[in-house]
Chain A
Amino acid sequence: MKTDIVFRVGGEGGEGVISCGEILTLACARMGLEIYTFRSYPAEIKGGPAMFQVRTSRELLLSQGSEVDVLICFNQEAYDRHAKDVRKDGQGVILYDSSSTKPEEGIHALLYGIPVSEMAKLEMRNYLTKNIIFLGVLSKLCGVDFSILETILREKFGKKGEAILNLNFQALKHGYQWVEKNLTKKDDCLIETRKGDNRLVLSGNQAVALGAIQAGMRFYAGYPITPATDIMEFLARELPRFGGTLIQAEDEIAAVGMVLGAAFAGVKAMTASSGPGIDLMTEFLGLASMAELPCVIVDCQRAGPSTGMPTKTEQSDLRHAISAGHGDAPRIVMALTSVEDAFYGMIRAFNYAVRCQMPVIVLSDQYLAQRTATVRKPDVQQVRAEEILKPKPGELDHYKRFQMTETGVSPMTVPGTPGGAFSATGIEHGEDCELSYEPDIHRRMSEKRWRKMKLVLQGPDLFRRYGPLDADIGIVGWGSSEGVIREAVQAANAKGYRVAAFHPKVLHPMPAELGDFIRSVKTVIVPELNVTGQFAKEIRARYLMDVVQLNKVAGLPFTPNEILEKVEEVCGTWLKQTHKV
C-alpha cells in the first residue's frame, strides 16, 4: 500500500473545495501523519477555479509532491484542468461527480464515478454538502479516520446549530456508505493512524506572526493585502494579550511610517504586505536606513507586476527588496524557506534589525504564506531575542547618537531616557545629528551605515546545504522552494547523479559560503519563480560566474520533478559534449 499520498481537490471557488481540503488536512494531521498543503484559488470570492492539495505521509514531507495520487473533481472543469497531473503509472485515482462529469476515454488512471451532486440535491437536499460527501468517500476509500472527521465537523459546524451539524454528519455517512455498497477498491492509496509526537499544524503566515511575537514584537501596523492579511488578522487577535498594539493603517505608507515611529520609541515593530504595498513603502525604507532604525517588513510575494495575480505565488520581488528606493540604502534581505523556518526566521529578522539598526525585509510568498505543514513544536526557551545596543551608564554625558564605531553600530537611546535626547533625520548628518553636506561626512556616514550589514554574517542559520560534498551539480535556490529542491536532490542522487544544494536564508548580504559552494561544483542551477532570474543575476554580479537558470512563471511553485528534469537536462548536455570530444 502507498502511504505517501498526494490528494488534490479541484472545483469552483465557493463550492467548498478549500474547506474540503482543510478538513482533510486536519484529519490527516490528527491521525498523527505529516502533512504539506498547497492551495491555488481565484482572487474573486465566488467562482473561478479553486484547488487544494494536501500531501500526507508517515515521513517528513519536503514538498507538495510532483504527481497527484488521488484527484477529487467537483465538476467537469476541474477534471479537465487536473487529470493530466495524476500519476502516470495507471494507479492514480480520479474521483469524479458522475452526475456532472464525463471522463475522457482511454485515460490511464483508476476512475471512480460517484453521483455526488445527485446525492447532495436529492438525498441531502443541499447542494453545498458535496464536499462533505466527498470526505465520506475518502474516509471509506483511503482510510481517513471517520470519527476524527466527525469531530472536526462538530468543531466547524457545531456553532451553527444542530440541524446544520446533522446535515453534515449525514452527508459524511452517505459518502462513506455509497463506497461501501457500490465500489470495489482497485488502487493502493491507504493511510493509517500513527502514534503522533509533539507536532503542530501551522501555516506560513501563522508561523510568521508567532515568531514575531516570540521575538518581542509589540507593535504592528498594516493594510490588508492578499496573501499577507492572515498575519495581520492573527496578530489583531493575539497581540493585545501580550500588551501590544495593532493598527490598521489608511495605506501602506502610513503603516510603515507608524512602524518607524514605534521603532524610534523603542518598541520592536513590523508590518507585512505584498508587492503593491511594499512598493509604497520605499521612501520610508530609505529613512529607516538613514535614521538607523530597526524594523521588520514582511513581503508575502505574489505574481506581479502591478496587481498581477494576487492569489498566485512568485519570487519576483527580490531585486526590489535589495535595492528599492533612491540612494544607496542598506537593508538586510532574508527569505523564509519553510513553515518551521518562518517561526525561527522572524526571530532572526528582529535580531538582525536590532543588531544592525536597520530595516530587514523578509521575503515569503503565497506558496509558503498559505501552506500548512506539520512542524515540530518550537522550544521557545531555546530562542534568544536580541535587544538594541543602549549607551552604558556614563556614556550619556557626551552622547552622540551616530557615534563612529568599528562595527558601525552606535548606542541608541529611546525617548524617555534622561540625557539621551537626539534628533533623528533623513538628511545627511554627522555623529551628533548635525545636518551636513560635507563630502567627508557623507562618505564616512555612508560607509558606517553599510558596515553594519556585516554583523549579520556572524551567526548561525545563514544557509542550509544538502547533498554530497563532492557534487557535480549545485542547485542554489532561495525562499519557499527549499523543500522541493531538497526532495529533488534526494531523487537525483538516488538516480546516480551527484547533486548538492545550497539554500541561503540571508540573500543580502550574501553568505560567504555561497562563493565556496558555487566554485566547488561544475554547474550551478538557479531555480526561481520569476522571468528574469533575479537571484541568478545577483550571483553572476557578485561572483562573475555564469549559472544555469531554471525559471518558472506560472503563478505556481516548482515540483521536485521539474528540478530533477533540469538536472537530467544539464547532465545530458555534458554527455553530448563528452561524446563530441
Chain B
Amino acid sequence: MVETNTQGLTAKEYKTDVHPVWCPGCGDFGVLTCIYRMLATKQINPDNLVVVAGIGCSGRLSGYVKSYGFHTVHGRVLPVATGVKTANPNLEVLAVGGDGDAYSIGAGHIPHAARRNIDVCYIVMDNEVYGLTKGQGSATAPQEFSTGTTPYGQMDEPLNPVAMAIAYDIGFVARGFSAKPKELTDLIIQGVEHKGFALVEVLSPCTTFHDIYKPISQRVRFIGPEHDPTDRLKAFQLALERETIPLGVIYKRERTAFHERARKIQEDSIQKRGKASVDEILSQFQ
C-alpha cells in the first residue's frame, strides 16, 4: 500500500523549480499539468513516488515532478520501472516517455511488461515525431509526412499503439489528448489506480516540427458509457476506427500484479522449504 500524506498538497506543490525545456504550446505541458493534478487528487506522497523517464523531449519530465526521479536511457523506461517496483512494491511508480521511446527503440519491452503485469502506469506522449533531434518521423508518423530523413514521405506505415496494446493484453489501455486536460487527468488517475500494467497513450502534439492540433481536434471524440472496456473485440474495433479518434478507456482486464506473484513465490518457497540461510545451503554441498 502506498502511504498518502495528509498535508493536503496542491497540484502546484508537486512542481519543482526547474523550468521545462519544452517549446511554447508543446502538448507535454498539458500532460505534466494532468500528472500534477492526478498526484494532488490522489494525495500521493512525493517521498514514495518514483517517476521513471525515457529519452527525448518528454523524458525530461522526471525532473519536473517533486519526487524521486530516474531519467534513464532511450527506450528502457519499462525495464527500469520493473526493477524499481519489484524491488520495493510500496513505491508508486510512474513511467513516462515519448513515442520514439515506447514504440520504436523500446517497443520490445511492451509485450513483456504486459505479460508480467507490472503495477506501473506508463504515460506515452505521442507526437508522431522525434522532436529533440529536430523533426524526423516516428513509428506513429503518417506516410505523407515528409521530414529530413524521409524527404519523400515515410517509407513505413504507422503503427497503431492502441491496437498493439490490446493485442498484447495490457490490463489497462486508454487514449487521451493533451488539449483535453480534464479527461486526461481522469484517465491518468484510472491508470494509476489500475492494479497492474496501464498504458495511457496521449496525443501530445509538437508545435515546432509537426503541429497536428487542428486535425486531431477535429477528429477526437469521447467514448460513451455504452462501451464495455472488458470486451476485447469491441476494444479492437475502437482501436481500428479510422474516421474519428476515440478517447477514453478502451480496454481493461484485471489480474494479479507482478510484485504480488513474486511475493507469492517467496511465501510459497519459504512455506515449502523453510526460510533459508547461506550456511544451511552450503551444508547441502558437503
Contact = CB atoms under 8 A, between A and B. Distances in A.
B88 A266 contact: yes
B36 to A, nearest CB: 15
Interface stretch (A38-46, A424-432, A541-549, A571-579): A424-432
B129 interface: no
A499 interface: no
A214 B68 CA distance: 29
B111 to A, nearest CB: 8
A297 interface: no
Interface string B251-275: 0000000000010011011100111
A202 B90 CA distance: 37
Chain A contact-residue range equals: 35 or more
Contact of A415 (B62, B82, B84): B84
B63 A258 contact: no
A416 B73 contact: no
A213 B278 CA distance: 7
Interface in B20-75: 46-52, 62-63, 66-73
Contacts of B286: 198-201, 377
Nearest to A234: B281
A1 interface: no
Nearest to B115: A250
A417 B50 CA distance: 12
A249 interface: yes
B109 interface: yes
A269 B269 contact: no
Contacts of A255: 79
A344 B285 CA distance: 17
Contacts of B87: 218-219, 245, 261-262, 265-267, 269
Contact of A264 (B84, B108, B282, B285): B84
A415 B48 contact: yes
A551 to B, nearest CB: 35
A283 interface: yes
B273 A241 contact: yes
B79 A257 contact: yes
Interface string A189-233: 000000000111110001000100110001101000000000000
A242 B83 contact: no
B80 A241 contact: no
B47 A417 contact: yes
Given A241-B276, A423-B63, A434-B18, A264 B70 contact: yes
B47 A422 contact: no
A200 B84 CA distance: 36
A284 B76 contact: yes
Given A210-B278, A291-B70, A415-B48, A201 B84 contact: no
A261 B83 contact: yes
A445 interface: no
Given A210-B281, A245-B262, A415-B50, A261 B79 contact: yes
A143 interface: no
A420 B270 CA distance: 34
A214 B278 contact: yes
Contacts of B270: 240-241
A241 B71 contact: no
B80 A260 contact: yes
A287 B72 contact: yes
Contact of B79 (A258, A424, A427): A258
B11 interface: no
B86 A422 contact: no
A275 B51 CA distance: 32
A424 B282 CA distance: 38
Contacts of A418: 47
A218 B78 CA distance: 20
Interface string A455-491: 0000000000000000000000000000000000000
A417 B265 CA distance: 27
B109 A254 contact: yes
A415 B48 CA distance: 6
Given A243-B266, A415-B50, A433-B63, A261 B73 contact: no
Nearest to A261: B83
Contacts of B111: 250
A265 B273 CA distance: 28
Contacts of A202: 285
Contacts of A415: 47-50, 68, 84, 88, 91
Given A210-B281, A287-B72, A415-B91, A269 B66 contact: no
Give the most central of B69, B285, B286: most A CB within 10 Å.
B285
Contact of A380 (B46, B52, B278): B278
B279 interface: yes
Nearest to B67: A421
Contacts of B79: 221, 249, 253-258, 261
B88 A265 contact: yes
A419 interface: yes
B210 to A, nearest CB: 24
Given A250-B108, A267-B87, A240 B269 contact: yes
B219 interface: no
A378 interface: yes
B112 interface: yes
23 contacts: A198-B286, A199-B286, A200-B285, A210-B278, A238-B281, A240-B268, A250-B109, A254-B79, A257-B76, A261-B79, A261-B84, A261-B86, A264-B83, A265-B88, A283-B73, A416-B90, A419-B47, A421-B47, A423-B62, A423-B70, A423-B71, A427-B71, A434-B18
Closest 4 CB pairs of A and B: A261-B83, A257-B79, A423-B69, A258-B83
Given A253-B76, A261-B82, A421-B46, 14 more contacts: A214-B278, A241-B270, A241-B275, A243-B266, A245-B87, A256-B79, A261-B79, A261-B86, A269-B83, A287-B73, A415-B50, A416-B47, A423-B63, A424-B70
